[in-house]
Amino acid sequence: MLKANSVSQWAVVKQLIRRDLRVASRQRSDLLNPLIFLLIVVSLFPLGVGPGPDILGRIAPGVIWVSALLSSMLGLERLFRDDFRDGALEQMLLLPVPVEISVFAKILVHWLLTAVPVLLITPLLALLLNLPLQAWGVLWLTLLLGTPVLSAAGAIGVALTVSLNKGGALLSLLLLPLLIPLLIFATAAVEAAVAGISPAGPLALIGAFMVISLTLAPFAVKAGLRVSVN
Amino acid sequence: MLLEAKQLTSVRGDRTLFSGLDLFVNSGELWQIEGPNGAGKSSLLRILAGLLPAQHGHVYFSGELIQNHLEQYYQHLLFIGHKAAVKPELTAIENLEFYAAVQGVELHEPPYEILAKVGLVGLEDIPAQRLSAGQQRRIALARLWLSNAKLWILDEPFTALDVDGIALLHSRFAEHLLAGGAIILTSHQELITPLYSVQALQLRYQH
């Protein structure tokens, strides 16, 4: 092969992250909507099931996690949708770095933009639903470990459906069943903490989900994108 | 030999677009792929760029199979497709700075000069979504001035460009060919220019 001015992979990843953050900073409503949705859904529960603190405290882990799952579905499509429309996705596949690395950068940015705000308002959600104080930390940990799984698994779903016109509904049908184990172990961890038992087991499992999905998803996303751009 | 395509066959759906197609591109050559709509011009360009797998046949760049060296190949390739790949939320300058950085071109100052060259003076700091289709296309084509890739693959580069824009592209093409580069493009209009000679590859519509 000919010699060329080589670009370090890190430099390319840095540029991708910078561009995506910049684009996101100019369409803030896209980022705010899922967060407001989450807040509204969670605050509807006390109105729907009654403000009894016992019931609320008991259903809090499930409600918060289910709402977080649903709200993450709302913003998921923007992971690749805009890039697909304007052609930036095609150019991403043509970058002189392995596609998996660019995909990992996209997943990372998506996590920063969608999950970090959720992590910030988690105490508010726990307060709204009267979650016992000793479980707040564990709830936060399950979200910290679980949200990267949402972004990574979501990226696979979006990569497969991005070229379809009505991909949004299909995406939820495709992904939500896959995320059931995550939901089960996350709520189990929080319930264990509420009951005063060690949540280490389910937490470790969520951690394993995170590691597996972050390492394997980029390969699946690459395959999905190659199909979708043609 | 810069790029060799041997015995390419492409099938989309039930239809064979082309089969047994050979293409040899040397440095300093410009190849125009001609043919009616649906003849497989874009598919051919995408196969040459490694975006679309061919059903049969292989593409070699400087003698090596591109699939085995995609990342190295992409250091030498500039592909501009139908979609301009200009982020509408970003300004022209920001778009260009991104592409310069990922192609390993060092900019010591924002590329105002290049934007002036493609006729975007005064529009540098406006988000691209507020520009016209032709102007967005010009941002994408400004990448040609920022690139030191050997091989350019351009799908309909003249669309949405006015007469001045077309003349400008011709002169940039001539520069690139003179510097030892090669260009493969599709275009529905005939390329009439004294600046360089054009090799043509004709694709027929096959039923």
pLDDT tens-digit series, residues A167-209? 778 888 999 999 999 999 999 999 999 999 999 999 999 999 9
**How confident is residue A6, by pLDDT bands cut at 50, 70 and 90?**
low
Q: What is the complex's ipTM, to 2 decimals?
A: 0.90
Is residue B110, in this structure, part of any structural domain at all?
A: no
**Which of the residues in chain B have pLDDT under 50?**
none
Report yes or no: B103 at the A interface, CB cutoff 8 Å: yes
Is residue B119, in this structure, part of any structural domain at all?
A: no
Q: Which domain holds residue B10?
A: 1-76+152-160+184-207
Q: Who's near A19: CB < 8 A, 6+ residues apart?
A: B87, B90, B94, B98
Q: Do B72 and A1 touch (CB under 8 A)?
A: yes
The encoded tokens of residue B179 equal 């510097």
Q: B94-116: per-residue pLDDT in tens?
A: 999 999 888 878 787 788 888 88
Residue B55 has what DSSP assignment?
S
Is residue B98, in this structure, part of any structural domain at all?
A: no
Q: Tell me, what CATH number does B189's domain have?
A: 3.40.50.300
The pLDDT value given to residue A167: 72
A2 has pLDDT over 60: no
Average pLDDT, chain A: 91
In A, minimum Cα distance to B129 occurs at A86
**Residue B83 with chain A: CB contacts under 8 Å:** 85-87, 90
The encoded tokens of residue A74 equal 């709302």
Looking at this protein, which amino acid is placed at residue A54? D
Torsion angles phi and psi, residue B9, rounded to 5: -130, 135
Q: How far is CA A166 from CA A81, A158, A175, in A?
A: 12, 12, 15
Is residue B88, in this structure, part of any structural domain at all?
A: no
Is residue B1, in this structure, part of any structural domain at all?
A: yes
Is residue B48, in this structure, part of any structural domain at all?
A: yes
Is residue B177, in this structure, part of any structural domain at all?
A: no
Continuous segment of H or E residues that includes residue A147: helix A136-161
Q: Do B74 and A95 touch (CB under 8 A)?
A: yes
B205, B40 contact by CB (below 8 A) = no
Strands B64-65, B56-61: pairing is: antiparallel
Number of domains in chain B: 1
Average pLDDT, chain B: 89
Q: Do B51 and A96 touch (CB under 8 A)?
A: no
- Distance (Å, whole) CA B19 – CA A189: 59
Residue B162, classed as helix, strand or coil, is coil
Q: A66-121: per-residue pLDDT in tens?
A: 999 999 888 888 899 999 999 999 999 999 899 999 999 999 999 999 999 999 99
Is residue B204, in this structure, part of any structural domain at all?
A: yes
Q: Who's near A228: CB < 8 A, 6+ residues apart?
A: A80, A84, A89, A159, A160, A161, A162, A163
